[in-house]
Structure 1
């Protein structure tokens, strides 16, 4: 039988999550935001933030893991193995669009890939997306290895920015789907 969890553990967990969620929002808008900006958004003092994350690098590492976890959970909720591939891909696009511009911030940060353990974690989890993309793949389509995965994440990045500018989400999902499945330029 395990010992009951103290209320302090629950409060610590909530505070940590509030800091990570605030960092996700603040850094998506301003990648150079200060720890003070993040603390203010999390509604905690700087000293509290520093008790959880002594250095900015610690916060950024924890943020990368947090975003990766959120992305994987969203993929799972989208049920990419269920139904026709096009419908599965649409659900996955929709689920990942919720993460917004923090995804490229995390996944394009070279310091995350300098840490080999973190890099291995960040480079996993979207295999199911690659599988869905392969199931939808247009016969005869070409590109270097990994191209559909790269295009998927680039389109999501563009889509997140477009939603942020006020374009209705459904239009953005439709545009991403058209780009992924049919391309964006008519051949002459």
Structure 2
């Protein structure tokens, strides 16, 4: 007979979540941070961290799935199907920007992207963003297939970097929205 699964919210689940949340914070700031740094931030010993994640790759895989689930939940919370397309798009931009710089880490880390099964899983769930982009497009999409999706994520990456440098959140969101809805170059600015 197998052991019962941990109850959601039980001590084991809370410790695992604390480790993943610490990994999000630490690795977003320092992608080469040690497991000891992550354990210290989580308030657990390194041996405890290793009981949950035997290797760094195990932690990174779990972190990627955790961030992906948070991203998908944030998209759903933004209610992308409700209201005018531009308002829905703004909510989606805001919810993704709120996840912070851990998102580009997860989707670009070589350890994570080298796992084809994991990469395929991480490539799911943002289809609704493309639908919102299509609804918000006033002149149709230019570029190759998948271009709006790539532009969306590239602009969010720029937004994470800009916010990290101290640009106010509202200004970052406004810039992303202007780029998505009006184009990226304003000939009146240098």
Fold similarity call, TM over 0.5: yes
- Number of the residue aligned with 2:186: 186
1:106 aligns with 2:103: no
- Matched residues in 2 for 1:137 and 1:8: separation? 41
CA contact under 8 A between 1:79 and 1:88: conserved in structure 2?
yes
Residues 51 and 90 of structure 1, relative CA distance in 2, 3 Å threshold: same
Residues 83 and 117 of structure 1, relative CA distance in 2, 3 Å threshold: same
CA drift of 1:119 comes to: 1.7
How many residues were matched structurally? Answer: 185
- Number of the residue aligned with 2:151: 151
- Matched residues in 1 for 2:58 and 2:6: separation? 25
1:47 aligns with 2:43: no
**What SS class does the counterpart of residue 98 from structure 1 fall into?**
helix
- Matched residues in 1 for 2:111 and 2:164: separation? 27
4+ residue runs over 4 A deviation: 4-9
Q: CA RMSD in A?
A: 2.0
1:117 aligns with 2:117: yes
After superposition, give the CA deviation of every residue in 1:21-73 in whole Å (9 maximum; x if it has no partner).
11011101111111011111111110010000000000000000000000000
- Matched residues in 2 for 1:91 and 1:9: separation? 29
Residues 9 and 174 of structure 1, relative CA distance in 2, 3 Å threshold: closer
1:72 aligns with 2:72: yes
CA drift of 1:165 comes to: 2.1
- Number of the residue aligned with 2:27: 27
CA drift of 1:5 comes to: 8.3
Question: So what's the TM-score if we normalise by structure 1?
Answer: 0.91
- Matched residues in 1 for 2:135 and 2:8: separation? 47
Residues 143 and 7 of structure 1, relative CA distance in 2, 3 Å threshold: closer
- Matched residues in 1 for 2:136 and 2:96: separation? 18
Residues 55 and 5 of structure 1, relative CA distance in 2, 3 Å threshold: closer
Q: Structure 2: where are the runs of 5+ without partners?
A: none
CA contact under 8 A between 1:100 and 1:161: conserved in structure 2?
no
Residues 117 and 100 of structure 1, relative CA distance in 2, 3 Å threshold: same
CA contact under 8 A between 2:75 and 2:96: conserved in structure 1?
yes
